Amino acid sequence: MSSRMKNCIVRFYHLLLFVVLSPREGNDPEDYSRLTYRKLLEETCRFANVLKSKGVSNGDKVVIYMPMILELPIAMLACTRIGAVHSVVFAGYSSDSLADRVLDSKAKVLITADGVWRGEKLLLLKNICDEAADKVTKHGHRLESCIVVAHLRRLNNPQGKTKGVNGTSNGTAMEMANVSWDDDRDVWWHDEMEDAEASCYPVWMAAEDPLFILYTSGSTGKPKGVLHTTAGYLIYAATTFKYVFDYHPGDIYWCTADCGWITGHTYVVYGPLANGATSVIFEGTPFYPENDRYWSIIDKYKVTQFYTAPTAIRSLMKFGDHLVKKHNLSTLKVLGSVGEPINTEAWLWFYNLVGHGKCSIADTFWQTETGGHVITPLPGATPMKPGSAKMYYPNSELAREAHCGSMEQYKRMHESSIKDPTQFWGEIAKQFYWETPAIEDKFFSYNFDLSKGDIFIRWMEGASTNISFNLLDKNTFPFFGVLPELLDEDGRVIEGEGEGYLVFRRPWPGMMRTLYGNHQRFQNTYFDRFNGFYCTGDGARRDADGYLWVTGRIDDMLNVSGHLMSTAEVESVLAEHSSVAEAAVVSKSHPVKGQCLYCFITPTAGTTFDEKLQGELKRKVRERIGPFAQPDAIQHAPALPKTRSGKIMRRMLRKIAAGDRNIGDTSTLADETVIQLLFELRPCV
Ligand code: PRX
């Protein structure tokens, strides 16, 4: 292990010593606490020692299936500390989805909690883990340890009777938290922590060693294990956090994302911690105990940066402005949006009401694969347009005044990066990763051609991937070093105004390195469609001012409330039902969720398509994938529109789902009468 790499990691962990109090807010408003960086380091070390005692070492995979409690980031950091690779699975996924992910990563250790309250719903996570463990055993894999946080027990049932989740409805949380136990496998977190040492020397990792795996939906149905590495991801998380949220010491930052998604990884855990930030971590939902929970938390902790999703904004808008106005939100400076395109109405509501007409809105476009923001405005520097992943100021003078500090900062930064392209990433890397100037030259090697603005950076010793940027690119909208292009069907670059496939020309530090266990799929999915470009799978439009508007997925993926999933994975679950001969799933726009699932079902001969079947199919998708994937509509389709070669015409199904009779050319269909029939059978949704 080289001394500079050691320094880099020590630097990261030194940050954990800062005496900064980060608040944690439970599902119940009375349940809150604060954590210092010193305490976080101590707990991280303790848990790292627990992991070691379970036989976890450098390179091992650990699956984490937990609610948004402090033990979740502690578990992630503990893995990192000993070089283990965490794979966090969102605790809203079903036991099947969890089992798939455990099997794919071949993890031997699973970390979970007895259960969690989400609003008034109780989720019994340990039971879901038990089901998943049985499933993986059937596939010949054994989970050796399951470490369980006694979260419900700790809460001592403050909420009384459950309202019923997963079909269970009676009994108190305590009774229900009497989880089944396998003495050979299961241990309580608190028992293990009691005897664990509070210090743990970190295991030194090379720049390109894996940091974590995070599964995201793939268009063929099987989830993809996106793999991020140590140095590039961390530097990118740290840098984008600092500049995109314009974070300064004293600010109180809050990102509402769950750590089960990439936003939670980069902008709840790694980005804020690497900056020594104070941030709020929230376990509950925006609707409990009342529909003003978000606004009351902003008020309670005097939040300055608030980062959330359009679906949350849309669902809160409908409760009326008075719930927002009830609270003092004047501390807010920067608002962030992520996960899906934000519609103008939601943007304006966010800007005018939540941001009291003075905050910058950072509409950040990025993906699990990109590790951090790739197309984003910088607060106070990029004029905002509602709904573009950019900003403009509806009231420019006022807003510019409010942000002149960051505007100056941005201008300086941008000018300096243009004058000396080595400076930007070099300085940034220094700032975050090491303190001793003597080692800096060995840390990176630079190679640049000022006339072209190319910068070529070799990462830390041992790095297998070198990274180059062009910092002179005229487009100021992408984050530094990111070069987006729009391509047409044939891969030709679209200059100026137009619409096409959103791709990136060059890599950046935080970019994924592979799909775990399947490098070929990595190549096929992201690089084969357009040779020489990273293909996002999204479409985008460039307007006359050069602003990019991400229009959404152009592959068979859909985005329900910011959760990305593939139509194929839902279709395969539906097709397993004995009464289903064929299923085709498309997306339909939804006023709150952005998009929802609309399913066409061809029943097997002799089966009646009735409400019972529809209910069973919805339940099946919930159980197999997770509650967030439940279809909104299941339509009877005695036949599907197919070409003569048997290909389902999803474009037409999307029109039928939307009730749009402007279906276009149907002459390629084997049977054109299907379209009329499907319109007639269309349910009122
Ligand atoms: O379709 C884009 C959409 O979310 C997809 C990435 O989903 P995921 O990997 O789950 O990561 C979500 C959080 C980063 C993208 O391909 N998306 C994300 N942010 C935006 C967006 N679409 C429009 N505008 C955004 N700001």
Domain borders along the chain are: 33-159+171-203, 414-473, 478-546, 553-681
Quick one: which atom of ligand 1 is closest to the CA of 375? 26
* pLDDT for residue 430: 53
* pLDDT for residue 517: 94
* pLDDT for residue 134: 96
Number of CB atoms found within 10 A of residue 300's CB:
15
Longest pairwise C-alpha distance within the chain: 78
Q: Which numeric CATH code is attached to 553-681?
A: 3.30.300.30
Q: Residue 22: which pLDDT band, with cuts at 50, 70 and 90? A: confident
> DSSP code of 320?
-
- Alpha-carbon distances of 491 from 370, 485, 532, 550, rounded to whole Å: 21, 10, 10, 18
- Alpha-carbon distances of 435 from 11, 164, 520, rounded to whole Å: 8, 53, 39
* pLDDT for residue 515: 95
Quick one: which atom of ligand 1 is closest to the CA of 550? 23
Ligand 1 centroid distance, CA of 603 (Å): 34
Ligand 1 centroid distance, CA of 573 (Å): 24
Q: Ligand 1 pocket test: which of 226, 255, 340, 628 has the largest number of ligand atoms within 8 Å of its C-beta? A: 340
* pLDDT for residue 664: 84
Give residue for tokens 């979970």. Answer: 112
Q: Residue 541: which pLDDT band, with cuts at 50, 70 and 90? A: confident
Q: Residue 590: which pLDDT band, with cuts at 50, 70 and 90? A: very high
- SS3 of residue 22 by DSSP: strand
Ligand 1 centroid distance, CA of 365 (Å): 6
Are the C-beta atoms of 519 and 528 separated by less than 8 Å?
no
Query: Ligand 1: does its nearest atom lie under 6 Å from the Cβ of 389?
Result: yes
Q: Residue 87: which pLDDT band, with cuts at 50, 70 and 90? A: very high
| Check whether domain 33-159+171-203 has CATH 3.40.50.300, yes or no | no
Ligand 1 centroid distance, CA of 537 (Å): 10
Helix (H) or strand (E) holding 658: helix 650-658
Q: Residue 665: which pLDDT band, with cuts at 50, 70 and 90? A: confident
Q: Residue 551: which pLDDT band, with cuts at 50, 70 and 90? A: confident
Please spell the DSSP secondary structure of 206-247, one letter per residue. -TTSEEEEEEE--TTSSPEEEEEEHHHHHHHHHHHHHHHTT-
Task: Quote the CA–CA distance of 423 and 139 in Å, as a whole number.
Answer: 52
Query: Ligand 1: does its nearest atom lie under 6 Å from the Cβ of 537?
Result: yes
Q: Ligand 1 pocket test: which of 89, 228, 365 has the largest number of ligand atoms within 8 Å of its C-beta? A: 365
Ligand 1 centroid distance, CA of 302 (Å): 28
What is the arithmetic mean of pLDDT over 105-116?
96
- Alpha-carbon distances of 439 from 356, 433, 443, 444, 462, rounded to whole Å: 47, 11, 6, 9, 15
Are the C-beta atoms of 508 and 469 separated by less than 8 Å?
yes
Query: Ligand 1: does its nearest atom lie under 6 Å from the Cβ of 455?
Result: no
Query: Burial, 120: exposed, middle or buried (Cβ in 10 Å; 0-12, 13-18, 19+)?
Result: middle
| Check whether domain 478-546 has CATH 2.30.38.10, yes or no | yes
Report the candidate in 383, 376, 381 with the shortest Cα–Cα distance to residue 410. Answer: 381
Lowest-confidence pick of 98-112, 466-480, 516-530, 642-656: 466-480
* pLDDT for residue 170: 37
* pLDDT for residue 646: 76
Q: Which own/partner contact pairs does 491-500 have at CB distance under 8 Å and 24+ positions apart?
A: 491/530, 491/531, 491/533, 494/542, 496/542, 497/542, 497/543, 497/544, 498/541, 498/542, 499/539, 499/540, 499/541, 499/542, 499/551, 500/539, 500/540
Between helix 95-105 and helix 125-138 the angle, nearest 10°, is 50
Q: Residue 383: which pLDDT band, with cuts at 50, 70 and 90? A: low
* pLDDT for residue 426: 56
- Alpha-carbon distances of 480 from 244, 418, 452, 476, 596, rounded to whole Å: 11, 11, 16, 8, 34
Whether residue 450 is predicted with pLDDT greater than 60 in this model: the reply is no
* pLDDT for residue 478: 63
Task: Quote the CA–CA distance of 138 and 140 in Å, as a whole number.
Answer: 5
Task: Quote the CA–CA distance of 278 and 282 in Å, as a whole number.
Answer: 13
Domain 478-546 and domain 553-681 have a common topology:
no
* pLDDT for residue 569: 85
* pLDDT for residue 21: 65
Q: Ligand 1 pocket test: which of 342, 479, 558, 559 has the largest number of ligand atoms within 8 Å of its C-beta? A: 559
Angle at 437 between CA 435 and CA 443, to 5 degrees: 90
Q: What do you get for the CA distance between the two ends of the chain, in Å?
A: 60
Task: Quote the CA–CA distance of 220 and 502 in Å, as a whole number.
Answer: 20
Q: Residue 548: which pLDDT band, with cuts at 50, 70 and 90? A: confident
Q: Which residues pair with 123 in a beta bridge?
A: 116
Whether residue 501 is predicted with pLDDT greater than 80 in this model: the reply is yes
Whether residue 329 is predicted with pLDDT greater than 60 in this model: the reply is yes
ipTM metric: 0.99
* pLDDT for residue 584: 93
Q: Which residues pair with 253 in a beta bridge?
A: 279, 305
- List the residue whose alpha carbon is closest to atom 15 of ligand 1: 367
* pLDDT for residue 382: 63
Handedness of CA 299, 302, 308, 310 (dihedral sign): positive
The tens digit of pLDDT for each residue in 258-312 reads 999 999 999 999 999 988 899 999 999 999 999 999 999 999 999 999 999 998 9
The tens digit of pLDDT for each residue in 351-372 reads 999 999 888 888 999 999 999 9
What is the arithmetic mean of pLDDT over 505-511?
82
The pTM of the full predicted model, rounded to 2 decimals, is 0.82
Residue 246 identity (one-letter amino acid) = D
Number of CB atoms found within 10 A of residue 415's CB:
10
Strands (E), 120-271: 121-123, 145-149, 186-188, 210-216, 224-229, 252-255
- List the residue whose alpha carbon is closest to atom 21 of ligand 1: 340
Give residue for tokens 């455990």. Answer: 102
Are the C-beta atoms of 237 and 215 separated by less than 8 Å?
no
Query: Ligand 1: does its nearest atom lie under 6 Å from the Cβ of 368?
Result: yes
Average pLDDT for the chain? 82
Q: Which residues pair with 61 in a beta bridge?
A: 85
> DSSP code of 196?
S
According to the per-residue pLDDT averaged within each range, which of 2-6, 45-49, 338-342, 374-378 is highest? Answer: 45-49
Lowest-confidence pick of 61-70, 88-97, 98-107, 642-651: 642-651
Are the C-beta atoms of 542 and 494 separated by less than 8 Å?
yes
Report the candidate in 476, 474, 496, 477 with the shortest Cα–Cα distance to residue 486. Answer: 496
